[in-house]
Amino acid sequence: MKIVTCFSYKGGAARTTTAANIAAALASARPGGGIRQPIGRKVAILDLDVFSAGTHRVFGISNRQIERFSQENPCIQDYLCKQIAPSDYACQNGITLDRAGSNSSLFNVFRDTYYAGDACHPGFTLFPARPDPETRFVVQKQHENLLLQLLDELESRTDPAFDYAILDGESGTRQMADIALRLADIILVFFRLTWQHAEGTLNSVRKWRTNPSYKPVYLIPTCVPLVGMADKVYWPEAAGLTDLRRLTQSVPLDSGIIDFARESRKDVGEFWTDITGSANGACVHESLLLKGEERIIVFEELQQRDQAADDFYRIAAELDQICHRST
């Protein structure tokens, strides 16, 4: 099982929305045409943003539903703080797409409205965190050990075992974020094309590279300006958009993050097509679907798709190839 940690130096980088869509694309089971070929992996996604949980919202599950769920089922915070056996927690407390699962009804929106009913591996599982920012606990080394035990349990399960565990971690350099980074086999770093995001991301990755246990990192920009009427998002003549595009495009060059990625190809990769037009990979585009509407879009019908949905598939497919090359 490969462990993929999703990280952003600052909030607002669409980390959770993008991580959830990539996880769903990895679990895709129905051909969609074009680049949307099924990958068919069994995927678990764990919400480790324990003080500001929200992964469940991307799957159409409300905070109220998770609150009710948590009255009978321990969430990630309970697992970490109440010494629950990993085998018990992994077996009984995930929200599964399989209709036979006891908690599968919470995936009704994901299954029916987001077109995942027959398009996703039935073993797809979400381990949610309770959306209760008032609840605080001190993150300790034992929590890292407990998460490692849980991941070992997910990998050892034979019905079948999970192929991927996607960790949606905290933003910034906090303790739970550090734990998620240490547990990772691969790190996906999401950043917006602003100075604070780009420079903070660059400093973080440079710091990680000084650690002997440094893991492969892939940089994913999540707000790339669309430039034509065919994009069906921005009206080209709208006031201010020309300047916005120019400023946004200058950040990756002027901050040095593009040069850094190219110079560090052995252990740092990038998922984008750069502004010179040479294709180095996929690029996550900002779209109307990602502005105030956090949801799964990768299984929508082709006539409803936008650039972001295709990009999620491209990243998932390339990530799957990377992981298989390393096994």
pLDDT of residue 281: 47
CB contact set of 170 (below 8 Å; sequence gap of 6+)? 48, 49, 50, 51, 52, 176, 177, 180
- Return d(Cα 5, Cα 139) in angstroms, integer: 18
Is pLDDT at 228 greater than 60 in this prediction? no
Q: Look at residue 33 and give its three-state secondary structure.
A: strand
Answer left, alpha or beta for residue 16, where phi above 0 means left and psi between -120 and 50 means alpha.
Answer: alpha
Q: Sheet of 268-270: strands edge to edge? A: 95-96, 125-127, 43-47, 164-171, 2-8, 186-191, 217-221, 268-270
- Return d(Cα 74, Cα 93) in angstroms, integer: 7
Tokens matching residue 95: 């929200």
pLDDT of residue 279: 43
pLDDT of residue 163: 95
Q: Average pLDDT of 65-84?
A: 92
Q: Average pLDDT of 263-279?
A: 64
- Return d(Cα 180, Cα 169) in angstroms, integer: 6
Measuring CA to CA, which residue among 233, 258, 261, 256 is closest to residue 245? Answer: 233
Measuring CA to CA, which residue among 27, 57, 34 is closest to residue 119? Answer: 27
Give the other-Cβ count within 10 Å of 269's Cβ. 19
Q: Which domain holds residue 117?
A: 2-325
Burial class (CB in 10 A: 0-12, 13-18, 19+), 278: exposed
Side-chain-facing half-sphere of 106: CA atoms under 13 Å: 27
pTM of the entire predicted model = 0.90
- Return d(Cα 101, Cα 136) in angstroms, integer: 30
pLDDT of residue 276: 42
Number of domains in the chain: 1
Bridge partner list, 186: 4
Q: Average pLDDT of 267-277?
A: 63
Helices (H), ranges, the chain = 15-26, 55-58, 63-72, 76-81, 86-92, 108, 141-156, 175-183, 195-208, 241-254, 257-263, 307-325
pLDDT band at 291 (very low <50, low <70, confident <90, very high): low
pLDDT of residue 277: 43
Residue pair 306/232 in contact by the 8 Å Cβ criterion: yes
Spacing of C-alpha 273 from chain mean position: 20
Residue pair 104/96 in contact by the 8 Å Cβ criterion: yes
Q: What is the CATH number of the domain that holds 210?
A: 3.40.50.300
- Tokens 């990009």 map to which residue? 311
Rg (CA), the chain: 19
Q: Tens digits of per-residue pLDDT, 93-142?
A: 899 988 777 788 999 999 888 877 788 999 999 999 998 867 778 888 89
Q: In angstroms, what CA-CA distances link 276 with 65, 190, 258, 308?
A: 46, 21, 11, 20
Is pLDDT at 255 greater than 90 in this prediction? no
